[in-house]
Amino acid sequence: MRNRFLITIVLFSFIIFNSNAQDFRLGRVSIEELKEKNHPKDSSAVAAVLFEKAENKMVYNQGNGFETELVVRTRIKIYKKEGYEWANKKVRYYLDSNLREKVSFAEVVTYNLVDGKIEKTKLKSDGEFDEHVNKYWGQKKIVMPNVKEGSVIEYQYTLYSPSIGNPRDWYFQSDIPVNYSEYISCVPEYFVFNTNVKGILRPKITETKVAKVINMDFKEKMVGFMGRVTTNHNTDNISYTETRTTYLTENMPAIKEEAFVNNVRNYTTSLEQELSMTKFPNAMHKMYSTNWEAVVKTIYEYDDFGPELNKTGYFEEDLKTVLTGLNTQDEKINAILKFVKSTVKWNDYYGYSCNDGVRKAYKDKTGNIAEINLMLTAMLRYAGLNANPVLVSTRSNGISFFPNRTAFNYVIAAVENGEDMILLDASDAFSTPNVLPFRALNWLGRLVRKDGTSSSVDLMPKKAAVELNSLNYSVNDKGEILGKLRSQKTAHNAMLFREEIKGVKEDTYLEKLENANNKIEIKEYSLQNEKDFSLPVIETYSFTANNLCELIGGKIYINPMLFFTKKQNPFKQENREYPVDYGFPFQDKYAINIQIPEGYKVENLPPSITLTMNGNLGVFRYLTNLNGNAIQISISNQINSSIVLSEDYVALKSYYQNMIEKQNEKIILTKI
């Protein structure tokens, strides 16, 4: 399976280091940095990170044990107005009462060059904000003062967290160049972390051992003469070894967005860590998430996950009515999916854990992803189907390359029937069996069965989403076109279209459609199956246009695909480091019938052609036929994989270029 090999993309690495033990300390901004007009290696850069240094330490708290302290120091150069957004910094923190985090900023300064001298502007209290994002997260935000083109900004922030299990991911690359990035991880000997460095470019890694001491204060009560109680205060020193691992990169290029990229952060040089084991003195070693089976077992045993699947009393009576008269698996699946979608609306919160629980979500008619899709799973099981939840990481959450509990932020339902698996998501109004929301189409998920076992699930669709356009039109001797279009969309094409027109008035939609299609004039518009998701959605309309043909020297030049013609290749880079991710396989088909005007004949008709890419990965067919005054053209572009690997990029780019050139060949009509 092609997408199973995508993880190998992170294995390629190279980088040349030129570290000269530079003194990267806040407050040491130079005149040379302020004078710099453009980035020396990327003149298009709107800003650049001159340096950033992070140190993630585990510090001992007398009352709470080990906690995490992350200190980050950053210096950024602003080159252009478009780079002003880099003068603002947001740091999120967790709000849970037991694991509440704290963020503080310090040494926040903007530097400018004024009359040849360095001018410092410090952040005032009105430039710092504490924002409530949602019930789980808050964020501290600073807005740098006196920012101009040429400014250099500096800041330091500290994140305190009682949680030691999941240090924040560290990104050595960004949307702007990063001249120097250093991350130091300090781990006492009592802890073992899973560590993964991913990305095309790799950091230089060094490791040292450091002797550390914990000073522990404790009280000891003594019973003396006549029962008198005294308290002695004692101090005990515990020695341990700390491992300091330094990850260093220099001259990292900006990450550039490219067409059809899933989440560019999947391929950005970065560091992920998660606690895998603790080994305290005189205690049994405790294992955490060492493999996917352990991760799944841990998640399934959470009170707000596994036990929620066993609750059925709140829906039983309602569901009996829904299932009345239904016998087949497909009938039950479709009915239950429709029932949940119409009963409980998604509140836009992700997560695989229930917030208020499935019962309350059912009662309140709103819930998060877990509450909706665990409820869906429970109902499917109640109906006698072999249903289980599937843990998912959304596209925005990225791909985790090693087992950890935070790899997932979403859950869907799956029904197994022998070798077949039907994937379901009731959070999206337009989803259907095996047609998941685009956000959930992210490589692999993890099926969690009742018996505690789990298995990998390929989330990428196998069936092509089809768009069939039947285009019939006539051309008169003035080059004016009178035509009719019937457009039919299935699977994800239908889902995306329904989402596009949701809540949009017909007049507004048609105006947009006319403008997008070379200012055509649309009449007799109709829409079928807008709300019947089991059927293709169908648009039909008549149109007229007077600017889709060219009249040159008494001849009429027609682009047969009219406004459907693609003009530019979306793939412009010579080579590409990332896979091309369409999200789903697709087939675009055009059945075109053209009536030419009386008194004209066809001087040139583009010849038929078939293009293939790397076997059957892509197939383009262009077939033409002339029958009297009628021209028939059949065009089809089919991409048979959701994902095209970077090794196939050159072939894909060439395929698209040849296809676009063919689409732009013109029919030439001349007078008889």
Phi and psi (nearest 5°) for 571? -105, 105
| Residue among 30, 251, 52 at smallest CA distance from 155 | 52
- Do the beta carbons of residue 538 and residue 488 sit within 8 Å? yes
- What's the pLDDT band for 232 if we cut at 50, 70, 90? low
pLDDT reported for residue 276: 86
CA distance 180 to 379: 53
Q: Is the dihedral of CA 311, 313, 315, 320 positive or negative?
A: positive
Q: What is 465-671's CATH topology?
A: Jelly Rolls (2.60.120)
What is the C-alpha to C-alpha distance for residues 445 and 220, in angstroms, rounded to an integer?
53
- Rounded mean pLDDT, 665-672: 96
pLDDT of residue 96: 79
Cβ atoms of 148 and 79 within 8 Å: the answer is: no
Higher pLDDT, 558 or 275: 558
pLDDT in tens, 171-201: 999 999 999 999 999 999 999 998 989 888 9
**Cα three-residue angle 398-403-405, rounded to 5 degrees:** 75
Q: What is the mean pLDDT of residues 285-292?
A: 79
State the Cα–Cα distance between residues 437 and 394, nearest whole angstrom.
Answer: 10
Which range has the worst mean pLDDT, 34-43, 61-70, 382-391, 592-601? 61-70
Tokens of 322: 């829904």
- pLDDT tier for residue 222 given thresholds of 50, 70 and 90: low
**Residue 225 binned pLDDT confidence (cut-offs 50, 70, 90):** low
Residue 46: strand, helix, or coil: coil
Residue type, 468: L
pLDDT for residue 3: 45
Domain boundaries, the chain: 2-23+35-287, 293-458, 465-671
Asked if CATH classification 3.10.20.30 holds for the domain at 2-23+35-287, the reply, yes or no, is no
* pLDDT score for 293: 86
**Structure tokens that stand for 192 in this block:** 């073992």
**CATH number at 293-458:** 3.10.620.30
Q: Tell me: the pLDDT tens digits for 107-128?
A: 999 999 999 999 999 999 999 9
Is residue 229 predicted with pLDDT exceeding 70? no
Give the amino acid at 602: V
Q: How confident is the model at residue 365 (pLDDT cuts 50, 70, 90)?
A: very high
pLDDT in tens, 136-147: 789 999 999 999
Residue with more model confidence, 472 or 297: 472
Amino acid (one-letter) located at 399: I
Give yes or no for residue 262 having a pLDDT over 60. yes
Average pLDDT over the chain, rounded to whole?
92
DSSP, res 39: B
Pick the residue with more confidence: 170 or 62? Answer: 170
Listing DSSP states for 27-96 in one string gives: T---HHHHH--SBTTBTT-SEEEEEEEEEEEEEEETTTEEEEEEEEEEEEEE-SGGGGGGGEEEEEEE--
* Local confidence band at 98 (pLDDT 50, 70, 90 cut-offs): confident
How far is residue 306's CA from residue 481's CA, in Å, rounded to a whole number?
A: 62
Can you tell me the mean pLDDT for 363-375?
Answer: 98
What whole-number percentage of the chain has pLDDT above 90? 79
**pLDDT value at residue 1:** 44
Beta bridge partners of 478: none
Could you report the per-residue pLDDT of 417-440, keeping only the tens digit for each? 888 999 999 999 999 999 999 999
Residue with the bigger pLDDT between 170 and 274: it is 170
Tokens standing for 20? 């000269």
CA dist., res. 8 & res. 11, Å (int): 6
Token match 């560290």: residue? 170
